[in-house]
Amino acid sequence: MKRFYDAVIIGAGPAGLAAALSLKRNGIEKILLVEREGYCGGVLTQCIHNGFGLHKFRKELTGPEYAERYIELVEKERIEILKKTIALDIIPLEEGLTLYLLSEEHGLPEVSARAVILAMGCRERNRGNLNIPGTRPEGIMTAGLAQKLVNIEGYMPGKEIVILGSGDIGLIMARRLTWEGARVKCVVELQPYPGGLMRNVVQCLNDFNIPLYLSHTVTRIMGNRRIEAVEISPTDETAGPKERGRFIESCDTLLLSVGLVPENELSLKAGVMLDPVTGGPVVDSNLMTSVPGIFACGNVLHVHDLVDYVSDEAERCGEKAALYIMGRLKKKREIPVRTGNMVRYVLPSRIDIAEPVHLSLRPIAPEENTHLLLKANGSVIYKKKYRKIMPGSMIRFEAKNIPEETESLEITFEGKTG
Amino acid sequence: MGETFDVAIIGAGVVGGAIARELSRYKITVALIEKEVDVSFGTSKANSGIIHAGFHSPPGSLKARLAVRGNRAFDLLAEELGFPFERRGELTVAFNDEEAEILRRLYYQGKQNKVQYMELIGKERAFQMEPNLNPDILQALYAPTAGIIGPYEYCFALVENAVENGVELILGEKVKEINPAKSARFYGEGFKIKTEKGLSINSRFIINAAGLYADEIASLVGLNDFRIFPRKGEEYLLDRRVGNLVHRVIFPVPTVKSKGMLVIPTVDGPVMVGPTADDVESKEDYGTTREGLKRVFEHAQKMIPGIRNKDVITSFAGLRPVATGNDFIIGTTKVKHFINAAGIQSPGLTASPAIAEMIRDILLHEGLKLEVKRDFNPIRKPIPRIRRLVEERDFRPVRELVRENPLYSRIVCRCENVTEAEVVDAIRRGHTTMDGIKFASRARTGRCQGGFCTARIIKILQRETGLPLEKITKKGPGSELVRGRLPKGVTV
């Protein structure tokens, strides 16, 4: 028996929860939230450190606390949730979308939806993506898996730890494992600047005297059963790893915190077009993907730095999806937004200039005292000064009052003199 | 172990496995002894999974004879043992006249080896077959009898079926000493095998299928007439997303040392490139190298320009056991009843069924009475997998599987669409390490490399075996996943 919904949301992490609530508040009744785990909240449930919710709730919450606030609201709104259920496939039809779900309780039901919101989040890059030479022993894992083992299961992954990559989860785990008695020997970062938030570098490394080797990388893994040591080499941006300055660090565990990848296997099945830079779907001002009726928000769209921003984006996404379902989504004239100097990506990459649009972007490299410029047909229509920009921190702003005759928009950073 | 086995096979890779399965047809007692905690954990696990046509080896060599014979056995074996096998064919490509000349030589070599249906084909035909080939190729040698299999699935299937038919599998026992039985002063009346952990196994015959360590096993009975040299092969597995870049195995013209670096379709879908062939000093040198990666991709890209190293999801290295003389060493020795199946490098996987038959004939010749068991069961049933069904949107059979076994509704590995039913099946078939489960179920082989499913598999493994987490390993003792519980036992 096929069931019909107005909206199906894939993933009940922070993005999915906020999107569900927003749909409901915008007048949509028949909503289904699909979650593969037996609980909601996604990765937040293993993030027991605090620092969540500063923007959204003006309060420092832990991950589970932040999730709980949304879960309570979703439950209060009596939004239907299918837990322990995986979405196998989404098939776009002339009218609406068909989804195939798989769960122990319900088997393999076919579900129909007028709109689908993708909120599957992201996953961690791993050793295979990096091609680190050497052996393949136990003791190499992503920082997120280590976090789960420690925080959820109560186990120590190792006692002498080297962390490759200075992403936020790696930094958080450096502190967490130190607290639990492990010796974190160093954090190694390929780039000349840290990958995570500055506050995490200070609170998780500096406060514990954990060395951070910038412009270094792991060039070899040693040990056949359990990892025994890693070879660490300085790197040169153009030439790659250098021999001079190379050293061996013994360890029993190598944690990888080398970036996150939006998880879009399902999106690809549905025929959604992806952006090679963000790894997430290409979306318009309404956060709608290239497939009509399929929307995306949160880390499946692009990797965020703060969960608060994920929630914001998901709320906007729910609002737009609600309008779409009610047949009231306006679309006037879309123009592309180009990325200029120092901008890695801007999202959405094409916008409808009739209405104000929230833009998110990330810089390519750190810079101090620079200006963010929005140019319409070459002339600056928005300017904001930034004391410091970092690739680890996302920048958001609202673009509005764009002149009607605009043919091209560009987002760019200008140098110190700009 | 008080009883005396008729035959003890040392080494449970594809060679030992194939011999064990062959011998399990007869009314004899057989022990299969393996130093690792699971079978196929040595050279066999890093195999490229190619069933060669058999034109690469020089006529008259054991390699040539056994590869061609072995190749023919795989249709029936795959049907009986339920492992994936597809006769996709091999295409060896030449880029210039010199290489084309080598192709012709290979063609005639193949003819002499009695390889069937080979053809020298022109560029146009090669392109029709493989549209992603480099447009600069000149000619190709097409050998349609070549195939691809899942190498460890094959090994697992052989051993499972052997055990089903009465072979005693002894895992995690490294042979340390081999003495004459009954305190006799000479070998011949049988052997007393002692393991490092102190286990004692008596047997009338020994088959030395110890792979890289076959020389060390031989020296335990005083045979020092050959040595095994490890030759490393690095392989790189590409993301499934890259798609079907090739349908057949694509070879360059071979070099003295190896068949060259290839582009290999795998039975599971993803494309693999490799292997290198580098002589190394240590039998434990399993490291991949930056230089190897570079070399593999240079070679692969020359044949299939669309291959990119940014699509690599994992890499590994295996060691081929290369014996003095470069050919297989199969046969009786100066020590009565001690029989070698050593130096089985490529095309050893292909040859393995023929090696097993050869060993059987040697045993018969040496006086072992072989009487066929009436109740020999040649069938080993594989567990149905849902991956391909889900990919092809064929949901009806998935629904049926779920109805029969609700564990099919729990996806454990989402990259490869492996369900809990498949993981539990792997565990119940005896694969209780993370690598064993990986090879048997394919969970953790996809692009996230276990980021998502490792914690789930640990839970299932604990539930099925009762093992505490501290005892769960990647590949046996010394490779434990965690180093104890949290000092304070914090739970959230």
Chain B neighbours among A 260-319 (CB < 8 Å)? 265, 268
- B1-85+149-227+324-382 has which CATH code? 3.50.50.60
Q: Which of B42, B144, B47 is nearest to B89 (CA)?
A: B144
Chain A neighbours among B 316-335 (CB < 8 Å)? 316
Q: Does B411 touch chain A (CB under 8 A)?
A: yes
> What average pLDDT does the segment A164-176 reach?
95
Q: Cis (ω within 30 of 0) for the bond into A109?
A: no
pLDDT digits (tens, 9 = 90+) for B360-410: 999 999 999 999 999 999 999 999 999 999 999 999 999 999 999 999 999
Q: Which of B14, B1, B8 is nearest to B321 (CA)?
A: B14
CA dist B333 to B23, B208, B249, B453, Å? 20, 11, 37, 48
Domain ranges of chain B: 1-85+149-227+324-382, 86-148+230-319, 387-471
Chain B neighbours among A 33-72 (CB < 8 Å)? 36, 48, 64
- B387-471 has which CATH code? 1.10.10.1100
Q: Does A89 touch chain B (CB under 8 A)?
A: yes
Work out the mean pLDDT of chain A and round it to a whole number.
94
Amino acid identity, position A83:
K
CA dist A95 to A109, A270, A317, A321, B221, Å? 19, 14, 21, 15, 76
- Chain A residues within an 8 Å CB radius of B449: 126-128
Q: Does A128 touch chain B (CB under 8 A)?
A: yes
The answer to whether B1-85+149-227+324-382 and B86-148+230-319 have equal CATH topology is no
- From the CA of A415, how many Å to the nearest CA of chain B? 33
- From the CA of A374, how many Å to the nearest CA of chain B? 34
Residue B491 has pLDDT above 60, yes or no: no
Q: Does A126 touch chain B (CB under 8 A)?
A: yes
DSSP run (H or E) holding A219: strand A216-222
- Chain A residues within an 8 Å CB radius of B402: 102, 107-108
Please indicate whether, in this complex, the C-beta atoms of B447 and A224 are within 8 angstroms of each other.
no
**B86-148+230-319 has CATH 3.30.300.30 classification:** no
Please indicate whether, in this complex, the C-beta atoms of B469 and A153 are within 8 angstroms of each other.
yes
Q: Does B242 touch chain A (CB under 8 A)?
A: no
Q: Which of B316, B337, B348 is nearest to B228 (CA)?
A: B348
Please indicate whether, in this complex, the C-beta atoms of A145 and B293 are within 8 angstroms of each other.
no
- What is the 3-class SS of A153-187, one letter each residue? HCECCCCEEEEECCCHHHHHHHHHHHHCCCEEEEE
ipTM exceeds 0.85, yes or no: yes
- Chain B residues within an 8 Å CB radius of A123: 448, 451-452
Q: Does B376 touch chain A (CB under 8 A)?
A: no
Best of B241, B294, B414 to mutate (most A CBs within 10 Å, chain A) = B414
Contact A226, B478 (CB under 8 A): yes
Chain B neighbours among A 176-195 (CB < 8 Å)? 180-181
Q: Which residues lie below 8 Å from residue B392, measured CB to CB, with a gap of 6+?
A: none
Confidence of residue B259 (pLDDT cuts 50, 70, 90): confident
> What average pLDDT does the segment A204-213 reach?
97
Largest CA distance in chain A: 67
Residue A416 has pLDDT above 60, yes or no: no
Question: CA torsion angle for A125, A130, A132, A135 (degrees, to 10)?
Answer: 50
pLDDT of residue B488: 61
Residue B244 has pLDDT above 90, yes or no: no
Q: Which residues lie below 8 Å from residue B289, measured CB to CB, with a gap of 6+?
A: A133, B234
Q: Which of B251, B256, B289, B257 is nearest to B273 (CA)?
A: B251
Best of A89, A131, A159, A218 to mutate (most B CBs within 10 Å, chain B) = A131
Burial B40-68 (b: 16+ CB within 10 A, else e): bbbbbbbbbbbbbbbbbbeeeebbbbbbb
Largest CA distance in chain B: 71
Confidence of residue A322 (pLDDT cuts 50, 70, 90): very high
Contact A279, A285 (CB under 8 A): no
Q: Which of B141, B126, B134, B96 is nearest to B307 (CA)?
A: B134
- From the CA of A56, how many Å to the nearest CA of chain B? 24
Q: Could you give the percent of chain A with pLDDT greater than 90?
A: 87
DSSP run (H or E) holding A236: strand A229-236
Show the domains of chain A with their CATH numbers.
Answer: 3-123+261-330 (3.50.50.60), 126-258 (3.50.50.60), 336-414 (2.60.40)
pLDDT digits (tens, 9 = 90+) for A245-266: 999 999 999 999 999 999 999 9
Please indicate whether, in this complex, the C-beta atoms of B486 and A150 are within 8 angstroms of each other.
yes
Q: Which of A154, A155, A185, A151 is nearest to A169 (CA)?
A: A151
pLDDT of residue B183: 66
> Which active-site residues of B does the annotation give?
52
Please indicate whether, in this complex, the C-beta atoms of A124 and B451 are within 8 angstroms of each other.
yes
Please indicate whether, in this complex, the C-beta atoms of A225 and B315 are within 8 angstroms of each other.
no
Please indicate whether, in this complex, the C-beta atoms of B455 and A134 are within 8 angstroms of each other.
no
Pairing of strands A343-347, A357-363: antiparallel
Give the number of other CB atoms < 10 A from CB of residue B304: 18
**How is residue A203 annotated by DSSP?**
I
* Rounded CA separation A353/B360 (Å): 80
The encoded tokens of residue B68 equal 């061609």
From A134, A151, A226, residue closest to B478, measured CB to CB: A226
